[in-house]
Amino acid sequence: MIGRLSGELIEKQPPALLLEVGGVGYELEAPMSTFYSLPEPGEAVVLHTHLVVRDDAHLLYGFASREERHLFRALIRISGVGPKLALTILSGISAAEFTRSVQEGDAGRLVRLPGIGKKTAQRLVMEMRDRLDDPCSGVAAPGLVVQQPRSGTTHRDVRQDACSALQALGYRTQEAERLVGSVDCEGLTSEEIIRNALRNALK
């Protein structure tokens, strides 16, 4: 099991990133909560990881904190919740908000996330209430590292990047475009647009 990687961030395009460690490039997927705290490509980064082994692939997932990984692992133990849906949950709602929703039995808030119907939301609330020992207790939500748009990146580019990322997280094309359109994108990076769009999705 690969539990932790420390190396140089080479590329990041939500939800995928490439991390070079000792001359080896590791492809990972990560929730948006982790992307918000990533540095610029070329800088050092440490990620807590979880490896999923399937018959057709080995998939590596990266997280900014142990608490995020703990919640991810708890989620994928729920029937009907795979790694992709777990990433969607962690991207669309903070660990603290998710735990609060579970503790308060607020399945309606979870239904607003893509890929989660009423039955899945109710199952999450019921089963996670028993399994979660509040993994984010005393832990602040990951902070946003404010980044300037990449040199040569246009306003249209960052909007397209944001739409593509939202689609990868489970939103349909039309819904992703609507959410990005609800954000004043001027001067924002794609990560900031995604963060604001996901906040609007839960309103």
**For 63-93, what is each residue's pLDDT tens digit?**
999 988 999 999 998 888 899 999 989 998 8
Percent of the chain with pLDDT over 90: 30
> Residue 141 has which token pair?
């939500």
Q: Coil, strand or helix: which one is 30?
A: coil
- pLDDT at 21 (0 to 100): 96
Query: ω into residue 135 within 30 of 0, thus cis?
Result: no
Q: Tens digit of pLDDT for each residue in 106-156?
A: 888 888 888 888 888 888 988 888 776 544 433 333 333 333 344 444 555
What's this model's pTM, rounded to 2 decimal places? Answer: 0.70
The answer to whether the beta carbons of residues 47 and 60 sit under 8 Å apart is no
Centre a 10 Å sphere on the Cβ of residue 65 and count the other Cβ atoms it contains.
20
Give the C-alpha separation, 75 to 90, whole Å: 10
Give the C-alpha separation, 119 to 54, whole Å: 27
At the topology level of CATH, where does 4-63 sit?
OB fold (Dihydrolipoamide Acetyltransferase, E2P) (2.40.50)
Q: In angstroms, what CA-CA distances link 19 with 9, 27, 67, 110, 133?
A: 5, 7, 21, 31, 31
Block residue for tokens 């603290």:
96
> In this structure, is the dihedral angle defined by the CA atoms of residues 170, 171, 177 and 180, taken in order, positive or negative?
negative
Count, residues in the chain: 203
Q: Tens digit of pLDDT for each residue in 10-57?
A: 999 888 999 999 999 999 999 998 998 899 999 999 999 999 988 888
In this structure, whether the domain defined by 66-131 belongs to CATH 2.40.110.10 is answered with no
The domain limits of the chain are 4-63, 66-131, 155-201
Per-residue b or e along 6-40, where b marks 16 or more CB atoms closer than 10 Å to that residue's CB: ebebeebebbebbbeeeeeebebbbbbbbbbbbee
> Residue 48 has which token pair?
């807590």
- Which of 60, 141, 134 is CA-nearest to residue 93? 141
The CATH architecture one would assign to domain 155-201 is: Orthogonal Bundle (1.10)
Centre a 10 Å sphere on the Cβ of residue 112 and count the other Cβ atoms it contains.
13
Q: How far apart are the first and last CA of the chain?
A: 38
Q: What is the residue type of 74?
A: A
pLDDT category of residue 201 using cuts at 50, 70 and 90: confident
